[in-house]
């Protein structure tokens, strides 16, 4: 309590917000473990447009019922708001769909990191029998039968519609999905009024508890692997039977030390999620913070601090033309 009072006094006299600005990514920003998202990156606008069309095209699925947007709805938080996504024929997946927003800043894709790039990731759902259940030959036949699609590809790619070009267009579009200009990013860039005292206190607590050891950089995560249950046996305490998805990175590597190792998720849109963690075991942001404190930091976080950290996480939510905030 004394520390919190001291923080409030320091905030009031301006000492906590007078952090010097340093040069980073071509602009001045506060010297913090979290970096602001860029408002714009250089991309081929033609590919972005074509990738957007393909992202919403149900012909990428075997029965023309599922598009990328089905599980990664851009109007919500880039996910589907479900504990498990449903694919063709109502097939239920085994893991919560992560957001596609800001995915271009992830160092690998999927919870277990099985795709090294967005281009590689595109093929996963298309070929997965419980997601889109299709194949590249099927997709190519369908798209090549569409004169408008053939024309669109020929204007960008000399070799027209190919697997590689479909991957490239969708991945380029996904790299454009940046939720820039969040209140916290504006504060990082020097706007003292962009966040409230509660949100700033939440960020200070976020750092004090050690959350930035895993959640830092532009994406506030997404740049490293971490064990679910680094301190304490999360899976044992959860009580449910272990699933293949719970194995994490082990599914890819087969290395025992990779059991329960996952790509650390971005927290950029965490405040908009309806479910948390790979297993969607929690539906409240505050409860997710408490669980992270217990199993990742070995700390019991008081409710007052949880509320402040939750306020900080809400300040990370930026904007995008296709994102509709609740």
Residues identified as active-site: 131
**What DSSP line would sit under 232-276, residue for residue?**
S-HHHHH-SPP-SGGGBTHHHH--GGGTTEEEPPP-TTGGG-SSB
Cβ neighbours for 3, distance < 8 A, ≥ 6 positions apart: none
Helices (H), 113-196: 118-127, 136-144, 147-154, 163-175, 183-188
Q: Which DSSP symbol is given to 225? A: E
**What is the dihedral sign for C-alpha 112, 116, 118, 124?**
negative
State the Cα–Cα distance between residues 240 and 173, nearest whole angstrom: 38
Q: Which DSSP symbol is given to 180? A: B
Place of tokens 């071509």: 26
Q: Which residues pair with 24 in a beta bridge?
A: 27
State the Cα–Cα distance between residues 190 and 21, nearest whole angstrom: 7
Cβ atoms of residues 276 and 282 within 8 Å: yes
């Amino acid at each position: 309590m004394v520390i919190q009072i001291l923080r409030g006094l320091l905030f009031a006299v301006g000492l906590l917000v007078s952090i010097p600005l340093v040069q980073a990514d071509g602009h001045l920003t506060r010297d913090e473990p979290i970096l602001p998202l860029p408002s714009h990156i250089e991309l081929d606008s033609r590919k972005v447009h074509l990738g957007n069309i393909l992202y919403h095209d149900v012909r990428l699925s075997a029965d023309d019922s599922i598009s990328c947007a089905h599980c990664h709805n851009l109007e919500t938080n880039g996910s589907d708001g479900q504990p498990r996504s449903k694919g063709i024929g109502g097939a239920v997946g085994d893991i919560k769909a992560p957001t596609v927003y800001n995915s271009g800043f992830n160092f690998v894709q999927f919870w277990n990191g099985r795709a090294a790039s967005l281009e590689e990731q595109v093929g996963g759902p298309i070929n997965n029998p419980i997601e889109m259940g299709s194949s590249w030959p099927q997709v190519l036949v369908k798209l090549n039968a569409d004169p408008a699609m053939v024309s669109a590809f020929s204007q960008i790619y000399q070799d027209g519609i190919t697997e590689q070009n479909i991957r490239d267009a969708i991945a380029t579009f996904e790299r454009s999905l940046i939720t820039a200009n969040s209140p916290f990013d504006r504060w990082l860039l020097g706007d003292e009024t962009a966040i409230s005292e509660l949100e700033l206190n939440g960020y200070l607590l976020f750092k004090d508890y050690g959350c930035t050891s895993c959640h830092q950089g532009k994406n506030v995560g997404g740049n490293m692997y971490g064990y679910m249950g680094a301190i304490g046996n999360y899976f044992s305490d959860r009580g449910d039977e272990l699933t293949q998805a719970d194995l994490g990175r082990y599914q890819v590597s087969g290395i025992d030390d990779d059991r329960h190792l996952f790509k650390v998720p971005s927290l950029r849109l965490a405040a908009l999620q309806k479910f948390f963690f790979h297993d969607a075991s929690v539906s409240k942001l505050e409860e997710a913070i408490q669980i992270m404190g217990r199993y990742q930091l070995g700390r019991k976080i008081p409710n007052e601090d949880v509320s402040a950290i939750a306020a900080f996480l809400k300040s990370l939510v930026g904007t995008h033309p296709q994102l509709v905030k609740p």
